[in-house]
Amino acid sequence: MRRCSILLPVLLLLVLLTACQPRAAAPTGELKVVATTSIVADVVQQIGGDSFSVTTLLPLGSDPHSFQPSPRDMAMVADASIIFANGAGLEEFLQPLIENAGAQGRVIEVSDGIQLLEAPAGEADSGDADSGDPHTWVDPNNVLVWVDNIRAALVELDPAHAAIYQANAERYTASLQELDAWVVEQVAAIPPENRSLVTDHLVYGYFAARYGFEQIGAIIPGFSTISSPSAQDLAQIEEAIQSHHVLAIFVSDAINPTLAQRVSDDTGVQLVRLYHGSLSEPGGPAATYLDLIHYNVNAMVAALKP
Ligand SMILES: [Zn+2]
């Protein structure tokens, strides 16, 4: 009886305290910011600075086209204040994930506003929804658009830190402009006749357009890695490699290495490893987006310069 008389007021007090909690938005320290790929996450973190810590859905090294979310990912998305995605049809898993999770946070597609490249003639893309090239980040000038979209979304979500997001966006914009100038300088070492790109799937359209390369084709002839190339596709790319001056086949971890090795063996053209859709582990050669472009361009120049 005595225990009851003490417990009851305590319980009542707790109920009252809970009911009286103001239902304001979580303080900035508790912003739950989710990004799909490690590349999107890095750029969002550059703009966010110390204001929050971005949670990345895709594990490092995974393929954004074929990613299968887990129940843990669903919980993360359900709980997010805001979700940043590349968009442009890259993350085929995202729309069903958001619907199934009942996510309340805004979804920002950072590539929104970029004029997407269409599939080259004769290369039917297998994706149903978007037919444009989703690999916008291979040209740092497109990431300038990302920065604008990210800054605007963060300022709206968290106006108390607007000045920080603005300053970080300006600083990172300057880094991207420097990066672009650096790429122009580096690729000048590659003579025009050596500027043929063959990749595991069609990844370098925006890079080729900006820096004066030609995308000859890919082992998987589309913007996605989801389809498997037919025997005819493989014969076609091997023929294209032999009829052009192709010095390297640029591959990432995301594609079946046996297939790439077979094309390399058949044509005698070396495989060169790049980072396409994911950063490397921290401390690795492509731990940030800026590092990724540096690494890829250095590897390209080493493979293609005379
Ligand atoms: Zn891709």
Percent of the chain with pLDDT over 90: 83
Contact 55, 79 (CB under 8 A): no
pLDDT of amino acid 120? 62
Cα(15) to ligand 1 centroid in Å equals: 52
* Weakest-pLDDT range from 5-14, 98-107, 150-159: 5-14
More confident residue, 21 or 181: 181
pLDDT band at 129 (very low <50, low <70, confident <90, very high): very low
Q: What is the mean pLDDT of residues 183-200?
A: 97
Q: What is the mean pLDDT of residues 59-87?
A: 96
Q: What is the mean pLDDT of residues 88-106?
A: 96
* β-strand pairing of 270-273 with 106-109: unpaired
> Which listed CATH number (3.30.365.10, 2.40.110.10, 3.40.50.1980, 3.40.50.720) goes with 28-182?
3.40.50.1980
Cα(261) to ligand 1 centroid in Å equals: 19
pLDDT of amino acid 119? 76
pLDDT, tens digit, for every residue of 218-259? 999 999 998 889 999 999 999 999 999 999 999 998 777 899
Q: Boundaries of CATH 3.40.50.1980 in the chain?
A: 28-182, 184-304
pLDDT of amino acid 122? 53
Cα(9) to ligand 1 centroid in Å equals: 61
pLDDT of amino acid 131? 77
Percent of the chain with pLDDT over 70: 87
CATH hierarchy code of domain 184-304: 3.40.50.1980
Cα(279) to ligand 1 centroid in Å equals: 13
d(CA 44, CA 58): 15
Q: What is the mean pLDDT of residues 45-52?
A: 97
Cα(202) to ligand 1 centroid in Å equals: 7
pLDDT, tens digit, for every residue of 14-43? 444 444 444 444 444 589 999 999 999 999
Cα(91) to ligand 1 centroid in Å equals: 10
Cα(190) to ligand 1 centroid in Å equals: 25
Q: What is the mean pLDDT of residues 260-269?
A: 96
d(CA 127, CA 5): 66
For residue 288, pLDDT beyond 60: yes
pTM above 0.95, yes or no: no
3-state secondary structure of 296: helix
For residue 163, pLDDT beyond 90: yes
Average pLDDT taken over every residue of the chain: 90
pLDDT, tens digit, for every residue of 99-128? 999 999 999 999 999 999 997 655 554 444
The beta-carbon contacts of 189-196 under 8 Å, at least 24 apart in sequence, are 189/301, 189/305, 190/300, 190/301, 190/304, 190/305, 191/305, 191/306, 193/245, 194/245, 194/247, 194/304, 194/305, 194/306, 195/304, 196/244, 196/245, 196/246, 196/247
Cα(122) to ligand 1 centroid in Å equals: 19
pLDDT band at 272 (very low <50, low <70, confident <90, very high): very high
For residue 9, pLDDT beyond 60: no
Cα(251) to ligand 1 centroid in Å equals: 11
